[in-house]
Chain A
Amino acid sequence: MQFPEFDSLYCKFGFHMGPDWTVLSGLEEGITQFAKSRQASTFTDSGQAIKPCVWNFPFSVSFKSTNPFGWPQLLVTVYGLDALGRDVVRGYGSVRVPMAPGSHTLYVSMFVPIATSPFNQFYSWMLGRPPEFIDPKFAAKSSGREITRVRSQGTVKVLLNIVTKDLEALGYAIPKSGGA
């Protein structure tokens, strides 16, 4: 994963899915190790060094549903330490689990909420507590976003291998293999 401004990061992840979905096997939540970034080998267009943090964290889970509505989304929250060693959130993000079987490399764009006023910004800087979402699943939801201001920064790379079962038998058309 890559965050241009921060090193020393860890990540919590989970899945958010609709009412008809259940977890059949595997762990649908996890927390990675605390990784320090390595030396930059690439740079952004504006000349900022991109220092990747490596987690290489495995997970495996299978879901079951009677309805594709609410198809699972992978929720990722990245935390880091500030200058005084306190845990602060560095990014929220979500990505839809691909619907097509096969191997997929996804990049999750991350964002953090920003303070609503300059006073709040100063206050949260004093306390060392930047704004957070009350609902950790906010990034996977569609509602309540219109009053939110965020700053997007950084991406998390996820590699997923997807296998689906019995979709065609239930009348669903799935893309020909090779398509995304």
Chain B
Amino acid sequence: MAEVHIIGSLVGASEFPKSALCCHWEIIAGEFWSPVEGELAGQTHVDAPLDPELTVWNHPIDIHFTTTSLAGWPRLRVQVFHQDVFGRNELYGYGFAHLPCSPGLHKIDIATWRPVGTGADQLWSYFLGATPQLRNLDLIDSPTDRFRLITSSMGKVHLEIAVMPRNFGSNGIEL
């Protein structure tokens, strides 16, 4: 059986309209993948940075998978929230990235988006701060129907992930 270690960190975010942000992350893998050790989901702290260019999370990620198939290679799904001065959390972005297959360190930027809804929704969220959210989060990282969705493009989430596969070569798989 082949194993994969995914070791890295959720570095931070930039280019969002406001910089006091936190992020909920989740690793999603197919049915043939089983996690051995490590946390598959988590939430970062809220950082209100001194330098508004870069929000720092530095959230460690360390996961050990075993797998019998390449199908359903793990993906990282992120949801970014902005926390305002009253402590309210507002959705600022959804995004995902396939974790790389090749061994070594990878720096990945996840570009994010958020639903904006109708004109009435936008007016509502302008005054009351509540933005529309997805009811089914699987839409973030699955190729299902997104055609009717109206979204707004948001900032980037920065990720540094090292991948260390084991025993793929002995199964004839080149990474």
Contacts and interface: CB of A to CB of B under 8 A. Distances in A.
Interface of A: 4-5, 18, 44-46, 67-71, 73, 93-96, 98-100, 108-109, 111, 114, 139-143, 145-146, 148-153, 167, 170-176, 179-180
Contacts of B160: 96
A141 to B, nearest CB: 7
Instruction: Name the residue among B42, B46, B47, B58 with the largest chain A CB count within 10 angstroms.
Output: B58
Contacts of B37: 69
B8 A100 contact: no
B166 A170 contact: yes
Given A171-B169, A173-B175, A180-B105, A142 B48 contact: no
B60 interface: yes
A171 B46 CA distance: 39
Given A68-B7, A142-B62, A173 B103 contact: yes
A165 to B, nearest CB: 15
Contact of B165 (A5, A70, A150, A172): A172
B29 interface: no
Main DSSP-derived SS at the A contact region? loop
Interface of B: 5, 7-9, 11-12, 22, 36-39, 42-51, 53-56, 58-62, 64, 83, 102-105, 160, 162, 164-170, 175
B164 A172 contact: yes
A100 B104 contact: yes
A145 B59 contact: yes
A151 B49 contact: yes
A158 B164 CA distance: 23
A153 B51 contact: yes
A75 to B, nearest CB: 11
Instruction: Name the residue among A141, A142, A153 with the largest chain B CB count within 10 angstroms.
Output: A142
A73 B105 contact: no
Contacts of B162: 96, 98-100
